[in-house]
Amino acid sequence: MAAGRNPLARGIDQRDNKVDMLSVSDAISLAKAQVSGMPALVVAGEVSGFRGPNARSGHCYFQVKDDESAMDVIVWRNVYANLGAQLRDGLAIVMRGKFDVYKGTGRLSFIARSLELAGEGALRQKVAALARKLEAEGLMAPERKRPIARFCERVAVVTSPSGSVIDDVKRTLARRNPLVAIDVVGCAVQGPYAVDSIIRALGVAADARPEAILLVRGGGSFEDLMTFNDERLARAVAASPIPVVTGIGHEPDTSICDMVSDRRASTPTAAAESVAPAIDEIVEAIEGRRQRMGSALQAAVTAESSRLDLASSRATRSLASKVERERALLEALSHRRCLEDPFAFLEDRSAFVLQTEQRLDDAIPRVMEARVKQVELLSERLTNGAERITTPHGAAIAALAASLDALSPLRVLARGYAIVKDGRGGVVCDAGDLRVGQRVDVRLGRGSFAATVDQTSE
C-alpha cells in the first residue's frame, strides 16, 4: 500500500473495485473519523454496571440500556459533579453528547457532555436540592428540634381518616397506654390538594393544644410520598407551635417532612409507640423505682442508726472521761493546804518576807563596805592618772602664760600708760576724734575712771 494515502481511499480501489487490506490502526482511525462526524445526540436509558467515580481520575464508566440494546458511556469528572446526585444501577437518565472511538482498542463509547436524571431520579434530584436549601436555612438543625414529652397525656393524629393507618395508631395507643387521649384530624395524604389539606389539618391540631402531633401515612411509591417532600408543607411542619412526630411510609422512606420534624419514626406505628410508653413498662418502672427507693431508704436508715449508735457511744465515753478528769481535779484541790487552813498562805508569805528582810539586812553592810573600797581605789587611780596626764603640759602652759603676760596690754598699763575709750567703747587713737565736753573712759594699770574732754591738740 502506498504511504500517505487516505485510509478510505486505500480500503476501496475505485478503479477496479478491489478491497485493499488495512492495518488495525488504520481501520480504527477510519471508524473514528466517521463517528466523529456524527452530530450530537440526546439519549435516554437506564444505568447499568455503574463504576465510579474513579479513585484517581474521578471519571465514571457504565452502560445505558433499554429493552433491546446497551452502549458504553463515559462521564467526565466535571460533568458528574454538575449532576448534583449519585448515579446507581436502575436510574433513568437523559444524556447529551457524542459517540467516540477509543483508538487504543477500537471501542465505541458515548461521551456524555451533560447529564440529568429522568423519572423518579429527577424527582429525587429535586428533593435533594430542596433538602440542601432547607438545611442551609437551619430547619434541619438538631438544636432547633424540640423535646417530646416522655409521657404524653394527649396527642393529635393528622392523617387520612380512612384506611388502616389511623386504626393501627389507635390500636397501638390503646394497647400500650389507654390513658393517652387521641384527637384525630382528617386530611388528604395524596393527590393535588393534599398539601393544602395537611397544612390546614396541622393548624386545627395545634389549636387543640396537644402535647404532640403525629403526622403519619402508610407506605407507597416514591411518587406517592412526594406530597411530604413539598416545600410549603415542610415549612408548616417546622413552624408548628406543637412538636411534630412524623411516621411516613416504611423504614427506608425519608421525606423532607421527616427531616424538619421534631422526631422522625420509621412507621406510623413506631410514631405512636414513641409518644406512649407501654403501661406495663410504666408500672414496672414505677415498681422498680419504689423498690429502689425502699432499699435506699432502708439503707439510709440503717446507716443513720449506725452513725447515731457510734456517736452515742463516743459521747458516753467522752462524758465519762471528762467527769473522771473533773473528779480527779476536784480531789486534788480538796487536799490543798490553802483550803484546809485559809491563814496558811498568809503565814507562809509573812515568813518569806521576814527571811528576805533578814537577808537584806545582812547583805547591805557587806555590799557598802565593798563599794567604799572600790570607790577609794578608783579615786586613787584617778588622782595618779590626773597627775601623770597634766604634768607634761604644765611647763608648756607656764611658758605660754609668760609669753602672754609679756605681750599683755596690762603690762604696758602697769608702766604708766592708759587706754582711752569713747562712749561707744571704741579705743581713741587720735585726738582729732574727740570733741570738747565729750565723756571718755580711761583704763589704767589698776582700775579705770571717767573724764570729760576740756581741750584737744594735735
Flag whether 348 is in a domain: yes
Distance of CA 235 to the CA centre of its chain: 35
Asked if 190 and 236 sit in the same domain, the reply is yes
Q: Which residue has the cell 521576814?
A: 354
pLDDT given at position 17? 54
Could you tell me if residue 162 is inside a domain? yes
CB 111 within 8 A of CB 74: yes
Written as one string, the DSSP assignment of 320-351 is: HHHHHHHHHHHHHHHT-HHHH-TTHHHHHHHH
Whether residue 218 sits in one domain with residue 325: no
Predicted pLDDT at 121:
62
Partner residues linked to 181 by β-bridges: 154
Q: Looking at the structure, do residues 267 and 315 belong to the same domain, yes or no?
A: no
Are 120 and 187 contained in the same domain? no
CA distance 176 to 179: 9
Q: What is the CATH number of the domain that holds 72?
A: 2.40.50.140
- Judgement on whether residues 11 and 121 belong to the same structural domain of the protein: yes
Quote the CA–CA distance of 198 and 226 in Å, as a whole number: 13
Give the strand order in the sheet containing 181-186: 181-186, 154-159, 212-217, 244-248, 263-265
**Within this chain, do residues 246 and 332 fall inside the same structural domain, yes or no?**
no
- Find all residues with CB under 8 Å of 359, minimum gap 6, and list them: none
pTM of the model: 0.45
Any domain includes 323:
yes
DSSP string covering 165-209: HHHHHHHHHHHH-TT-EEEEEE---SSTTHHHHHHHHHHHHHHT-
Burial 193-215 (b: 16+ CB within 10 A, else e): ebbebbbebbeebbeeebbbbbb
Q: What is each CA distance from 47 to 128, 152, 434, in whole angstroms?
A: 19, 48, 155
Strands 60-65 and 439-443: unpaired
Residue 216: name the closest of 192, 174, 187, 180 by CA.
187
113 shares its domain with 162? no
CATH of the domain at 188: 3.40.50.2300
**CB neighbour class for 74 (10 Å; exposed up to 12, middle 13-18, buried from 19):** middle
Asked if the structure places residue 370 within a domain, the reply is: no
How many Å apart are CA 450 and CA 428, to the nearest integer? 14
- Which letter does DSSP use for residue 427 in this model? B
Residue 120 belongs to a domain: yes
Are residues 171 and 121 part of one domain? no
pLDDT at residue 407 in the model: 74
Q: Is residue 388 part of a domain?
A: no
What is the chain's pLDDT, residue by residue, as a tens digit (458 residues)? 344 455 554 554 544 555 678 899 999 999 999 998 899 999 999 899 999 899 899 999 999 998 899 999 999 999 998 887 788 888 888 999 999 999 889 999 999 999 888 765 666 777 888 889 999 999 999 999 999 988 889 999 999 998 789 999 999 999 888 889 999 999 999 888 999 999 999 999 999 999 999 999 988 877 788 889 999 999 999 999 999 999 998 877 789 999 999 999 999 999 999 998 777 777 777 888 888 998 899 899 989 988 998 998 899 999 899 999 988 888 887 777 676 677 777 777 888 888 888 888 888 888 888 888 888 888 888 888 877 887 778 778 888 888 887 777 777 777 778 888 887 778 888 888 788 888 888 888 788 888 888 888 87
Residue 106 lies in a domain: yes
Are residues 119 and 171 both part of a single domain? no
Distance of CA 118 to the CA centre of its chain: 51
Phi, psi of 215 (to 5 degrees): -100, 105
- Compute the distance between CA of residue 5 and CA of residue 3 in angstroms, rounded to an integer: 6
Residue whose C-alpha is closest to residue 130's, from 119, 140, 143: 140
Tally Cβ neighbours within 10 Å of residue 232.
11
Q: Give which of 244, 272, 270, 274 is closest to 259, Cα–Cα.
A: 244
Q: Give the pLDDT score at 2.
A: 41
Name the DSSP class of 57.
T
Residues 195 and 265 grouped into a single domain: yes
Q: Considering Cα of 188, then 189, then 191, then 195, what sign does the dihedral take?
A: positive
Residue 333 belongs to domain spanning: 292-361
What spatial distance separates the first Cα and last Cα of the chain, rounded to whole Å? 173
Write b or e for each residue in 350-369: b if 16 or more Cβ atoms lie within 10 A of its Cβ, otherwise e: eeeeeeeeeeeeeeeeeeee
User: Would you say residue 366 lies in a domain?
Assistant: no
* One domain, residues 108 and 159: no
How many domains, in total, are found in the chain? 4
Of the residues 89, 107, 125, which one is the last residue of a structural domain? 125
Same domain assignment for residues 65 and 14: yes
- What is the pLDDT, as a whole number, of residue 380? 85
Per-residue 3-state assignment (H helix, E strand, C coil) for 12-46 = ECCCCCCECCCCHHHHHHHHHHHHHCCCCEEEEEE
Which domain-ending residue is among 107, 125, 143? 125
